[in-house]
């Protein structure tokens, strides 16, 4: 799934319809994909998009246990096993809702920390689970309301109370029984910093937020710096000064120009606490790893590349020595900063030298690692790596494959391609073709096929090479799938990133059109059968595609996409307030008359009359980023003009669909939509809506089988 920046979503869609008896694919009326040219059986939706069998393996700090996520009655929960036998795992949490999205071990080795929201509202709570004693998890942030200046709860237009949103700010092996948590219970727009005991829940205020976006703390939980936004979109980095009474004051330290804001990220301090490692593009184009003297501000380059930003880092678990940095232009690769890990990488690469390799956890003594290998056309695999071994030789043990059912099916290669934009920018993109359509494996099918342009959200995010269930699912149905890192995407330097400023529905969209034309010119895509879909910004791009370039696309799928940039900016969550000047620098300023006029010119809601192609819209009712009103208003505008549209609404979801039943129901609906408009292979809706919570406020009759399925689910 994609991860998608300041407007992020975890879902995009695809297509499918099978004969109810034979299970063989049936082309919709009007022709479509020649099923005989897709040399692979139809893979069930649940194999691609159901819960993983297991995921997110993490070794405990003391190296005695392994934790991972796995379903319990269909809901993802945390399990813990002895490090010597993962099959002895037992669940230690008992979530019965949308599942636990992620977790980490506390450094005391007896507790696990995780976050959970309510129905996708992103008002996160932080929980602590005792894995030894068992019992219910402890809510470390047990607050249900934010009080206003009058001492009364702040109420939302819906009549609900405004709830605080917590976030984990820091954990440290030096403070194993505590966690630093940011919480906006005092002011909805600002996260104060609290030190919380993991076992008892005792909470102590560490620093009150004075208009900061973030605090920077060290391994002793001392507040060292804060980042404060300026009105021009730049940031000020302030150094904390502690007085005799322990009160904090702030002095200027460094400035972060607006063009560098998205490429500046404080990472950690060295073991002495005197050097701050950061990801930083100041003074260069691409973001590099740098060492900043915490006293003088002097900066030294640690690792950087000219064509892409620095990504994931590896550091020693206790002495904080930087050991390796991952860089990704089109394909990922690791740069070792010393010989510390050379033998480890050589050993691990023998397991799988073609896949992306990620070290996901390390024990404090650095003996045990969990390592994930992510190929492009198979299930990710997760190993336990013992650097010492029973006889002094390193060993590796396969813990699990996340989706072992995938091994039954033939999947397609993901090609990394570079598409030229009309103004010369290079757009790193990823192309997947239907199985059997490209026997010489040159990235061009024997004849043009329908194309799905899969637009990532954010837009400050990027597409990457590796296993992508959306790509494989759509390719299996008979479509070419193209994901484009359009300008404004991250990972390719600040010039590329900032080239997207004020270009929503402008040059950012031109890049997508250039990519479609490239695919047509290369005889990859059938010009008459190109779909655009995506989530969040990708949903917005879908609406732009059907209004600004209506002749290019045969249909569109919009998931939680904004239709009106002015109303989008007027309805951001309160705690995004300090970031508003950065957002308006990218999109346009809703606070000025000139800015509102510009936003209107880039908002699909004002060009609804141009929509002539089929459109499917999906929305989570609790979405705090792109409110339900963004979908409601464009659906109503289309209905007022008698323009057909299908609208699917999920009452218990937010910015993306996390509950498996909801997720699978939407894929089933989208399959029918794409199959009808592009002619792809498909499997029937069947009972895919069973257990899902959804309504179809408009256009159920436009998708085959939806009215009946929605009425019976």
Tokens of 95: 């979530």
CA distances from 281 to 274, 287, 289, 314, 492 (A): 21, 4, 9, 19, 11
Residue of 323, 340, 383 lying closest to 358 (CA atoms) = 383
Phi, psi of 696 (to 5 degrees): -125, 85
Sign of torsion over alpha carbons 461, 462, 467, 470: positive
Say if CB 322 and CB 310 are below 8 A apart.
no
Catalytic residue among 111, 471, 590, 655: 655
Tokens of 456: 């990532």
What distance in Å separates the CA atoms of residue 219 and residue 318, rounded to the nearest whole number?
A: 10
What distance in Å separates the CA atoms of residue 96 and residue 78, rounded to the nearest whole number?
A: 12
Say if CB 90 and CB 78 are below 8 A apart.
no
State the DSSP code for 149. Answer: T
Q: How many CB atoms lie within 10 A of CB 44?
A: 17
Alpha helices in 482-627 (DSSP H): 494-498, 507-521, 537-548, 565-570, 580-587, 593-601
Is residue 616 classed as helix, strand or coil in its secondary structure? strand
Phi, psi of 419 (to 5 degrees): -100, 130
What distance in Å separates the CA atoms of residue 35 and residue 140, rounded to the nearest whole number?
A: 54
Active site residue 563: no
Active site residue 536: yes
By DSSP bridging, strand 322-328 and strand 299-303 are: unpaired
Angle at 616 between CA 563 and CA 574, to 5 degrees: 35
Phi, psi of 399 (to 5 degrees): -85, -45
Say if CB 412 and CB 469 are below 8 A apart.
no
DSSP string, 26-67: -PPTT----GGGS-SPPPPHHHHHS--SSEEEEE-TTSSEEE
What distance in Å separates the CA atoms of residue 272 and residue 186, rounded to the nearest whole number?
A: 34
Catalytic residue among 623, 631, 632, 665: 623
Catalytic residue among 281, 412, 536, 563: 536
Helices and strands: H and E segment counts in the chain = 12, 36
Tell me the β-bridge partners of 647. Answer: 617, 698
State the DSSP code for 84. Answer: T
Phi, psi of 386 (to 5 degrees): -105, 110
Name every residue whose Cβ is closer than 8 Å to that of residue 279 and which is 6 or more positions away in sequence: 263, 264, 265, 267, 287, 288, 289, 290, 309, 310
What distance in Å separates the CA atoms of residue 650 and residue 326, rounded to the nearest whole number?
A: 38
What distance in Å separates the CA atoms of residue 90 and residue 80, rounded to the nearest whole number?
A: 6
What distance in Å separates the CA atoms of residue 601 and residue 317, rounded to the nearest whole number?
A: 51
E strands in 331-377: 332-336, 356-362, 368-374
Q: How many CB atoms lie within 10 A of CB 691?
A: 14
Active site residue 440: no
Name every residue whose Cβ is closer than 8 Å to that of residue 260 and which is 6 or more positions away in sequence: 280, 281, 282, 494
- Give the catalytic positions in this structure: 536, 623, 655
């Amino acid at each position: 799934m994609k991860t998608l920046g300041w407007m992020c979503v975890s879902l995009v869609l695809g297509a499918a319809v099978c004969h109810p008896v034979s299970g063989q694919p049936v082309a919709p009326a009007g022709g479509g994909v020649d099923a005989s040219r897709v040399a692979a059986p139809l893979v069930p939706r649940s194999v691609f998009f159901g819960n993983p069998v297991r995921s997110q393996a993490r070794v405990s700090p003391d190296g005695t246990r392994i934790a991972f996520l796995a379903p319990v009655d269909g809901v993802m929960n945390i399990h813990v096993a002895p490090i010597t036998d993962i099959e002895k795992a037992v669940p230690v949490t008992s979530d019965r809702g949308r599942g636990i999205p992620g977790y980490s071990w506390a450094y005391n080795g007896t507790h696990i920390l995780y976050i959970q929201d309510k129905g996708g509202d992103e008002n996160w709570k932080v929980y602590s689970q005792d894995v030894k004693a068992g019992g219910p998890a402890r809510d470390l942030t047990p607050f249900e309301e934010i009080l206003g200046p009058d001492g009364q709860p702040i109420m939302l237009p819906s009549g609900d109370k405004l709830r605080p949103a917590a976030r984990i700010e820091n954990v440290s092996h030096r403070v194993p029984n505590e966690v630093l948590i940011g919480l906006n219970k005092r002011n909805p727009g600002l996260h104060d910093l609290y030190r919380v005991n993991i076992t008892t829940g005792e909470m102590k205020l560490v620093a009150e937020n004075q208009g900061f976006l973030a605090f920077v703390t060290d391994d002793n939980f001392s507040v060292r710096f804060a980042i404060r936004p300026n009105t021009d979109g730049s940031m000020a980095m302030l150094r904390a000064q502690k007085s005799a009474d322990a009160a904090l004051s702030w002095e200027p330290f460094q400035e972060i120009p607006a063009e560098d804001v998205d490429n500046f990220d404080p990472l950690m301090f060295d073991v002495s606490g005197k050097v701050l490692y950061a990801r930083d593009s100041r003074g260069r184009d691409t973001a590099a790893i740098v060492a900043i003297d915490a006293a003088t501000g002097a900066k030294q380059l640690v690792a950087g590349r000219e064509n892409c930003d620095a990504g994931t880092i590896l550091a020693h678990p206790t002495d904080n020595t930087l050991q390796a940095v991952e860089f990704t232009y089109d394909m990922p690769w690791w740069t070792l900063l010393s010989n510390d890990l050379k033998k480890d990488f050589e050993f691990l690469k023998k397991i799988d030298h073609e896949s992306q390799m990620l070290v996901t956890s390390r024990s404090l003594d650095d003996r045990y690692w969990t390592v994930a290998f992510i190929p492009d056309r198979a299930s990710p695999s997760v190993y336990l790596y013992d650097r010492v071994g029973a006889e002094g030789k390193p060993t590796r043990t396969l813990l699990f494959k996340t989706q072992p059912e995938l091994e039954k099916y033939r999947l397609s290669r993901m090609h990394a391609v570079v598409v030229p934009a009309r103004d010369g920018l290079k757009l790193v993109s990823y192309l997947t073709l239907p199985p059997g359509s490209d026997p010489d494996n040159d990235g061009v099918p024997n004849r043009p096929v329908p194309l799905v342009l899969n637009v990532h959200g954010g837009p400050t995010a990027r597409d990457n090479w590796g296993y992508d269930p959306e790509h494989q699912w759509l390719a299996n149905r008979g479509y070419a799938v193209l994901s484009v890192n359009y300008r404004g995407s991250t990972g390719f330097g600040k010039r590329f990133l900032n080239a997207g400023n004020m270009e929503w529905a402008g040059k950012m969209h031109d890049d997508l059109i250039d990519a479609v034309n490239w695919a047509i010119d290369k005889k990859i895509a059938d010009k008459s059968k190109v779909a655009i879909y995506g989530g969040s910004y990708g949903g917005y791009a879908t609406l732009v595609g059907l209004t600004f370039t209506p002749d290019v696309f045969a249909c569109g799928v919009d998931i939680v996409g904004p239709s009106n940039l002015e109303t989008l900016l007027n309805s951001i969550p309160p705690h995004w307030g300090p970031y508003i000047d950065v957002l308006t620098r990218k999109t346009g300023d809703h606070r000025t008359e000139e800015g509102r006029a510009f936003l209107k010119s880039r908002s699909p809601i004002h060009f609804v009359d141009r929509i002539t192609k089929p459109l499917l819209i999906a929305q989570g009712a609790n979405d705090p980023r792109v409110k339900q009103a963004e979908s409601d208003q464009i659906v109503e505008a289309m209905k007022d003009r008698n323009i057909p549209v299908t609208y699917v609404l999920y009452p218990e979801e937010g910015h993306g669909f996390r509950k498996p039943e909801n997720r699978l129901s939407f894929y089933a609906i989208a399959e029918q939509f794409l199959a009808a408009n592009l002619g792809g292979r498909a499997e029937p809706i069947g009972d895919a809506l069973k257990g899902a919570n959804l309504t179809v406020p408009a256009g159920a009759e436009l998708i085959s089988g939806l009215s009946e399925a929605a009425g019976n689910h």
